[in-house]
Structure 1
Amino acid sequence: MQTNNNDVTPCGIIEGFFGRSWSWDIRKNYAQFLALNQYSFYIYAPKSDKHLRKHWQDDWPLAEKKALLELRQTYHAAGVQFGIGLSPHEIYLNQSNNQRAQLDQRIRQINQLEPDILCILFDDMRGDIPGLAQIQTDIAHQAAAISNAKKIIFCPTYYSFDPVLEKVFGAMPENYWRTFAQQLDKGIDIFWTGEKVCSPNYSTEHLLQVTELIGRKPFLWDNYPVNDGAVKSNLLQLRAFDKDHSQLTGKVAGHAVNPMNQAWLSQIPLASLPLAYREKENYSPASAFTNICNDLCGTALAKQLQNDIEQLQDCGLKNLTTTERQILRETYQRFGSNPYAQEIVAWLNDEYLFDPACLTE
């Protein structure tokens, strides 16, 4: 994967959340936003796309396939790499030749989109199966052999030390991560979310431990600012990325950020990550938040967001009184057609409901 001139670590976003999906227009608009902020890739992997998950064997209908082709062209025109995330839902529960033939066919269908990146994703699936790591390794190798993508990224079922994964998906098989270190092609990257599914930061000690464990530097799947979980769906995660993110260069293979359901508001924290990588020890999250809000939202809305950040990000929707919610609603309605303000109003109106399919918070 190519990197930009200012950052040796490839950074991008992965549209990989549950709940209310982005529109095709929003996805297209993000190409310019990512290019302007020196992100190098976008990965299409929404949990709502059944043709990537439970019905992964089936190609998209013609209208969706056309939309994806146009999306890829839009990103290429902006100089941003385009990726697809395929989750062959529990393919390993039926180890028939037919399933493997269907995987071959599906990868060839995805090849028609000419993606730069192909992700094979086994998150959110049952994992307490003997020999699972070897089975998943074989599937990843099979997909990589057929794919025309330049980069393959693999997501294991257990992608963190967080005990919630075993609680939800079953006990992790013995030697699970060690098998990938020994058997998975070193040219294939491995997604990792940190010590938790939603990790606030990534210590050097942790990243070195994971590098040893999986036999390569982890490719971060950063679950900030995503807010699709039972708790975080009540929050708007707007603050800039943590100071520790400025110290990640050289310790990770890449950095993919999972944004919020609110596409416009996601731009506020997203714009800060490349700054953290570039500015290193000079990076200030507080200054970044202030400057980005001013640049994206305009001075008046930026000031309002800074005044309300504790209610929006710390208190959250469920803890707001009826009066507090109404005051906020009236405040942001005054900004009219400003898309950032409109998303706050929609959030206050319960238009971003929690999707119970999200199990890992």
Structure 2
Amino acid sequence: MFRKACATAAVTVLTAALGTSLTAMPAQATTARHGNHVALPAVYPAPQSMRATGTAVALGDRVAVVAGPGSDHDALVALRSLLSTSGIHHIDQSKTTADLPGGEPVIFLGGPEVTHGSAAALRALHVTDASSLPAEGYVLADGRVNGRPVVILDGHDGTGTFYAVQTLRQLIEHHGGQVPGVLVRDWPATSLRGVIEGFYGQPWSNAQRAAQLQFYGQNKMNTYIYSPKDDPYLRAQWRDPYPADQLAAIKTLVDTAAANHVQFTYALSPGLSICYSSASDEQALVAKLQSLWNIGVRSFSIPFDDISYTHPNCAADTATFGTGPTAAGAEQSSVLNYVQKDFIDTHPGAQPLQTVPTEYYDVTPSAYKATIKKDLNPNILVGWTGVGVAPATITAAQTEQAETVYGHKILIWDNFPVTDYDNHSRLLLGPYIGRQAGIAENAAGVTVNPMPQAEASKITEFTVAAFLWNPHNYQPQQTWQAGLTALAGPDLHAQTALAAFADLNRSSRMDPTQAPELTRLMKAFWSSWNTGNSGGSRQLDTYLNTIQHASATLSQSMDDPHFVAEATPWLDSASEWAEAARDATAMLRATRSRDGAAALNDRAYAMSAMAKAKAHTYTTAVNGTIPVDLGAASVFTDFINAAMAQLEHWLGLPATETAMSSMGTYQTDKPANMIDGNPATYYWSNQPVAPGDYVGVDLGTTVAIDTITITGGDPTSPNDYIHNATLEYSTDGTTWTTVDSYTDTADITATLPAGTKARYVRLVATQGDKQWVKIHAFTVTDAQTTTVTGTPAAAPGSSLAGAADENLDTSYTAATRPATGDAVVATLADPRVLHRVTIIGTGQARVQISTTGQWVTIGRLAHSGFTDLAADDRNTDAIRLLWDAGSATPTITEIIPRSK
């Protein structure tokens, strides 16, 4: 709806370090008794009622299935497949137990109304049948009847029986071929539960759709809406019949859906070109729907989302309905009512017609909505996304409001985990959250809009299924972990790797939490590091090692190769981010060992890995080349930057500046983006400006400053800046000096008087307004700079200033080898007593300092690229590198004068 170590060796250590948080199985594996508490087996979605009843039923090598002529065929197929894949080699199928060998375990498929013997078995176990349960409900019971092991799968209807088989599947899979002694009485809280393939971009393949439909059936979701925006016969060419081969492919999907008890809804979107007043267009609509009916489709939607109602498609519509929102509501209702009367009502077995109005994203009364409420046939379901196109929360009260304002039952179209609003650069692998339990009961149903990555979408879909089935007992974290385990398969290494990878991609508009497990370990690292311990370092390194090798681990050990193929660009990016973070920790360890050369090498490795991590893309036929955005990129960036700041402090460079804001952050557009030197990134607040709100910079220490430059707004958000503001600076954060005031000035440049010193600089709002704040750059120029002169001249792309600009990412590289007398001189802004001189760079030279007008040699440049020399606390005004004639072409990254 929108436009460097073996991973295998690390698993044991990681699991020990993190407990079961990443590898938890879907819950307890048995109904073992712990004191007076019986631990129930885990089933997802969680049943409405499940209690332990006694001894488990061992199925053994031979099982009988008793199914009556009314037993659901698809449930029977699913049951036989389950038993075969569970290692049961002999399956006797019968309509009665009379001719079965004594003692052979029996599974009754269906309740008393369809299967002979199930009534007596239910009575013997003192179990009430499923007839009083809601639609799709079921009863699963087991025990011994007349000495025979018995399992009863009694559905209120065929779908309920099919779902009973799915619950049995989980019980058998996690209990070694045994059915634990339980009684399950279960039913869904929500009538329509499923997925709408409604995203823009590369649509799913039919093979992906078929796999999805099977997944829905296994997880008790009953709805799939076929609405890929890039199917031309669905939208742009809606009048044209499908070519025979494409129609046959859809029929295969319809049959697959039916076999998994999933309602296949076909959504035809004529809004781009339909002439609402045209009888021939109405007939074309019905003809198109009839072609789908002929291949088995029984559920239809006519959505009018993402179209304009201010530009009529034909002159006749203007003459018939007029223009504007009221006319749009009237003409859309007219067409929908026609389809209801001439198609839905004339086709017994057709499900309620669905639509999505053009205003689908709020509960604000409007002329358009009022017309829909008044004119649209009351039997038609209205699609609605919540208050917002992709809202962070959807509440029961909002859903009730939507039903009131539209005057119809609401089918929620939930835009999660869809990524087309972000050009599909993200994977959203977190659980379904931010939805009140009441929405599942108040609405006619909920369908979520997934990602183009069908297998990756299953992680969220698993949790959606659990929420919609039993919202009041839904546990997002536990369910999410169970879904990850199910998708990863039984291998512990795959489970651990997938859980770590999903943690990196958990955040979304619904859940802004960035990589909670990685964040926890990084916090533990810093806590441990700052106290001189190494425990946090080991745990973090083990976890980073798992991430670094996750792609290889999942390729080798995961049950789902399609997931790995879809996720490869993000897996590769995650691997390099993890490598960069590991290099950063190695760099810190080198500083603690006082090995400057090793620390600088590790820094270079980290910077290289980080650059590679940011550079990944992938390509689709529809979207072209798309940049990859790892959800946890900012977590890695913050950690690596903090490590770099410690290195710089150790080297004697000035304190690292940090960005400040009194306002919140929109998604990942954090304040640090103002000072990252990248004009393409920005800080963006998540709220309008109030008086006193500010953005600014903490320089880390008081320094002389001369220029402040601020770049606000941009062509996409031209008014997002502080419109009424005062620029201020301070040395202590308490007493502020005003530089100037500004009105409607997005880009600010201020030159300060010579000698101005500050630690803090901020731009403060003097009035509130409706705009958010977007700042691309907030730059404060330090006046206390070291001037570099000398020879040889710098090579193209380099400068002498790079040798002392307090930036480890810039350097002076000579254009030629030095000649006799060539030297580079760094003149300090203020003469001062130096304790040491640190030089990062290569070349053959004597290192000298100017003291009392004389050059004093204190040593030579080291071959390692890191030189640290004692200056003997001499008062110094300059540092000179006197080159050896014929020296290799020198490169100097930084000349650092260091006082005590």
Both proteins in one fold, TM over 0.5: yes
Q: Does 1:146 align with 2:343?
A: yes
User: Structure 1 residues 219-228 or 178-187, which shifts more?
Assistant: 178-187
In 1, the alpha carbon distance for the partners of 2:500 and 2:485 equals 13
CA-based RMSD of the aligned residues comes to: 2.8
Give the 5 Å matches for 1:281-320.
281-298=472-489, 299-314=492-507
User: Structure 1 residues 93-102 or 133-142, which shifts more?
Assistant: 93-102
In 2, the alpha carbon distance for the partners of 1:315 and 1:183 equals 38
Give 1:3 shift.
5.4
C-alpha offsets along residues 82-136 of structure 1, whole Å, 9 cap, x if unaligned? 1101001334556333323322322222322331210001111112242000100
Instruction: Give 3-state SS (helix, strand or coil) of 1:219's partner.
Output: strand
Distance 1:279 1:151, change over 3 A: closer
Give 1:77 shift.
1.6
What is residue 567 of structure 2 aligned with on the other side? 344
User: Structure 1 residues 73-82 or 85-94, which shifts more?
Assistant: 85-94
What is residue 359 of structure 2 aligned with on the other side? 158
Please tell me whether the aligned partners of residues 222 and 256 of structure 1 are also in contact (alpha carbons under 8 angstroms).
yes
Give the 5 Å matches for 1:28-39.
28-39=210-221
Q: Does 1:122 align with 2:304?
A: yes
**Structure whose alpha-carbon radius of gyration is higher:** 2
The correspondence for 1:132, drawn from 316, 321, 328, is 328
Unaligned runs of 5+ in 1: 164-171, 317-326, 357-361
What is residue 690 of structure 2 aligned with on the other side? none
What is residue 203 of structure 2 aligned with on the other side? 21
Please tell me whether the aligned partners of residues 241 and 272 of structure 1 are also in contact (alpha carbons under 8 angstroms).
yes
Give 1:14 shift.
1.1
Unaligned runs of 5+ in 2: 1-133, 138-186, 311-322, 510-545, 573-615, 625-900
In 2, the alpha carbon distance for the partners of 1:31 and 1:256 equals 14
What is residue 209 of structure 1 aligned with on the other side? 401
The correspondence for 1:262, drawn from 453, 470, 481, is 453
Give the 5 Å matches for 1:224-303.
224-230=416-422, 233-242=424-433, 244-298=435-489, 299-303=492-496
What is residue 175 of structure 1 aligned with on the other side? 367
User: Structure 1 residues 327-336 or 233-242, which shifts more?
Assistant: 327-336
What is the TM-score of this pair, normalised by structure 2? 0.35
What is residue 4 of structure 1 aligned with on the other side? 136
Distance 1:94 1:66, change over 3 A: same
Give 1:264 shift.
0.5
What is residue 335 of structure 1 aligned with on the other side? 554
In 1, the alpha carbon distance for the partners of 2:508 and 2:472 equals 30
Question: How many matched pairs?
Answer: 336
In 1, the alpha carbon distance for the partners of 2:549 and 2:136 equals 42
Please tell me whether the aligned partners of residues 363 and 398 of structure 2 are also in contact (alpha carbons under 8 angstroms).
no
Distance 1:135 1:62, change over 3 A: same
In 2, the alpha carbon distance for the partners of 1:307 and 1:246 equals 28
In 2, the alpha carbon distance for the partners of 1:339 and 1:355 equals 20
C-alpha offsets along residues 303-332 of structure 1, whole Å, 9 cap, x if unaligned? 22332345324499xxxxxxxxxx968631
Distance 1:157 1:295, change over 3 A: same
Distance 1:243 1:17, change over 3 A: closer
What is residue 319 of structure 1 aligned with on the other side? none
Instruction: Give 3-state SS (helix, strand or coil) of 2:442's partner.
Output: coil
Instruction: Give 3-state SS (helix, strand or coil) of 1:22's partner.
Output: coil
Give 1:234 shift.
2.1
The structure whose residues are more often helix, as a share, is 1
Please tell me whether the aligned partners of residues 245 and 277 of structure 1 are also in contact (alpha carbons under 8 angstroms).
no
User: Structure 1 residues 48-57 or 237-246, which shifts more?
Assistant: 237-246
Please tell me whether the aligned partners of residues 290 and 302 of structure 1 are also in contact (alpha carbons under 8 angstroms).
no
Instruction: Give 3-state SS (helix, strand or coil) of 1:151's partner.
Output: coil
Instruction: Give 3-state SS (helix, strand or coil) of 1:277's partner.
Output: helix
Identity among equivalent pairs (%): 24
Please tell me whether the aligned partners of residues 54 and 89 of structure 1 are also in contact (alpha carbons under 8 angstroms).
no
Instruction: Give 3-state SS (helix, strand or coil) of 1:271's partner.
Output: helix
What is residue 41 of structure 1 aligned with on the other side? 223
In 2, the alpha carbon distance for the partners of 1:352 and 1:300 equals 29
C-alpha offsets along residues 213-233 of structure 1, whole Å, 9 cap, x if unaligned? 0112311001111112236x2
